[in-house]
Amino acid sequence: MLKKVYIVDDDPLSLFLAKNILTLYNINCKSSCYIDANQALDQLVEDALTGDLPDLVLLDLNMPLMSGFEFLRRLGSVCRGLEMECFVAILTSSIDEEDKKRCAESALVIDFLEKPLTNSMLHTITKAITKKNGPLPDNVPGREQI
């Protein structure tokens, strides 16, 4: 089950929606909303240093100041530096194939989701993460990456 999820989107409506869908899916999931991608990135760096990375980051692509692609680039270099892994799922209203291709180039991205977020999407992602990482321990609030 997903315990800790960050949602990065410039649209407050989208944030509201995603947060509530997540809560509906998993009542114990602790989700944080970031309307400013920079803040989210700062938090992730801090999490990486304390070993408390979220299970998943839901990332919008089309944002002012820092686009989703720029976010991925920076996060990627942080993770490589710390030899850690962080799972990102793109959650966008874009249905552009080019965007999809660009995102697939990033090793962090495990899925490309078209808005709106649904239960079944969350289910698929959870399964994918489990497959990669092994079953998520229910009672442990975070994971350590070595």
Partner 1 sequence: MDKTLQSPKFYLFLLENSNDLISIIDEQGNYQFVGGSVKAILGYSPEEMVGNCAFGYIHEEDRDATAGALNNALGEKLASLPYFRFRHKTGEWRWMDCTVSNMVDNPFIRGYVTNTRDITEKVEEERRKLRAQAHYESMFYNHPDAVFELHSDGCFTKVNSSVSQVLGYEDSQILGVHFSRFVHEQYLPLAMEAFVSTMQGNSRYLELQAVRQGEEKVYLGITIMPVIVEGEIVSIQGIAKDITLQRKLEEVEREQAEQLRNIMESVPESFFSLDQSWHFTYANAHYASYIGKSRQEIVGKCIKEVFPAAADLSTFYSECVKVLQTGLPSSFEELIYYGDGRRLSFQVFPSRNGVSVNLVDVTEKAAEKNRLEKLALVASKTTTGVVMLDRFGRIEWVNSAFEETTGYGLQEAYWQYPGDLLGGEEAEGLVQSKIRKKMAKGKPFKGEVVNYSKNGQQKRFKLEIIPVLGEDGQPVKYISIRYDVTEIRQKEDQLLKITRDLSEQIRNLQQFSYMVSHNLRAPAANIQGLVALIGALSKDTPFFDEAVSKLALAAGNLDVVIRDMNHILSIRERSSLLKTEAVNVLEVCEEALSCVLPRLKGGGHTISLNINKNFTLSSNRVYLLESLKQLFSNAVKFRQADKELMLEVNLIQMKGKTELTIRDNGIGMDISLGNKDIFQLYKRFHQGYEGRGVGLFLVRTYLEELGATIRVESAPAQGTTFTLKFKCHA
- Shortest reach from residue 40's CB to partner 1, in Å: 13
**Binding footprint of partner 1 on the chain (CB under 8 A):** 11, 13-14, 16-17, 20-21, 24, 35-36, 62, 64-65, 93-96, 114-118
- Is the Cβ of residue 37 or residue 53 nearer to partner 1 in the bound state? 37
Residue 2 or 48: which CB sits closer to partner 1? 2
Instruction: Give 55 or 60: the residue with its C-beta nearer to partner 1.
Output: 60
Q: Measured from the CB of residue 36, what is the shortest distance to partner 1 in angstroms?
A: 6
Residue 89 has which token pair?
A: 């799922």
Q: Which is nearer to partner 1, 21 or 84 (CB)?
A: 21
Three-state helix/strand/coil letters over 16-80: HHHHHHHHHHCCCCEEEEECCHHHHHHHHHHHHHHCCCCCEEEECCCCCCCCHHHHHHHHHHHHH
Query: Nearest distance from residue 17's CB to partner 1, in Å?
Result: 4
3-state secondary structure of 9: coil
Cis before residue 54, ω within 30 degrees of 0?
A: no
Query: Contact 18/5 with Cβ under 8 angstroms?
Result: no
The total of other beta-carbon atoms located within 10 Å of residue 113's CB is 18
Shortest spacing between CB 43 and partner 1, in angstroms: 16
